[in-house]
């Protein structure tokens, strides 16, 4: 017997993405999905940008592993860490550190995963624009759903999560 778990609100994540991924686009000159978001002129609340810094910004992951899953991204589109200027590299890690402080204040996680996937073979879905994942984690947050049903449950919408993070960032 096939079981279904309905999370209808998640359909917006799939069907209403504000811009296309450059990896899926015939227009290579359009840049990464992150560059497209920045160039769209859309308000931060619509694009889920929660912080803008000097050389990088922070955006909600459109397909989060857990509530509060953030991406810290340099404005300049580069594929690898060694392509960052010293100022960009410094600002990136200062912002990653601040993101951990913000997530602790907003969500009180038991721990965090912080990482990069450099290149498509490493799992990078947007390999031309490096981004650091900052993922809050809780003891027991991986439950039977992912192991048995290949399903993930998230307890709040991206809009609610972004509001909490913007408030904590301030």
User: Which sequence spans correspond to the domains of the chain?
Assistant: 49-169
The three-state secondary structure class of 156 is coil
Residue 30, SS3 per DSSP: helix
Cα 70 off chain centre by: 4
pLDDT (tens digit per residue) in 39-94: 999 999 999 999 999 999 999 998 888 889 999 999 999 999 999 999 999 999 99
Q: Is residue 11 scored above 90 in pLDDT?
A: no
Q: Write out the two tokens for 16.
A: 């209403």
CATH class of the domain comprising 49-169? alpha beta
- Take residue 6 and report the two structure tokens written for it: 């309905």
What is the CA 5 to chain-centroid distance, rounded? 24
Q: Does the reported pTM lie above 0.85? A: no
Active site members: 131
Q: Answer yes or no: are the C-beta atoms of 51 and 58 closer than 8 Å.
A: yes
- Reported as a pLDDT band with limits 50, 70 and 90, residue 153 is low
Map tokens 């497209």 to a residue: 36
């Amino acid at each position: 017997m096939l079981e279904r778990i309905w999370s209808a609100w998640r359909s917006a994540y799939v069907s209403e993405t504000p811009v296309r991924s450059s990896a899926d686009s015939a227009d290579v000159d359009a840049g990464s999905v992150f560059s497209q978001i920045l160039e769209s002129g859309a308000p931060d609340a619509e694009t889920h940008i929660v912080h803008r810094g000097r050389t990088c910004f922070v955006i909600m992951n459109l397909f989060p592993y857990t509530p509060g899953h953030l991406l810290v991204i340099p404005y300049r589109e580069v594929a690898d860490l060694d392509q960052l200027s010293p100022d960009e590299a410094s600002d990136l890690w200062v912002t990653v550190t601040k993101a951990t402080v913000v997530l602790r204040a907003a969500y009180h996680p038991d721990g965090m995963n912080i990482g990069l996937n450099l290149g498509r073979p490493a799992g990078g879905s947007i390999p031309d624009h490096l981004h650091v994942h900052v993922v809050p984690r809780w003891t027991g947050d991986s439950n039977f759903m992912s192991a048995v049903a290949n399903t993930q449950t998230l307890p709040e919408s991206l809009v609610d999560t972004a509001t909490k993070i913007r408030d904590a960032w301030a």
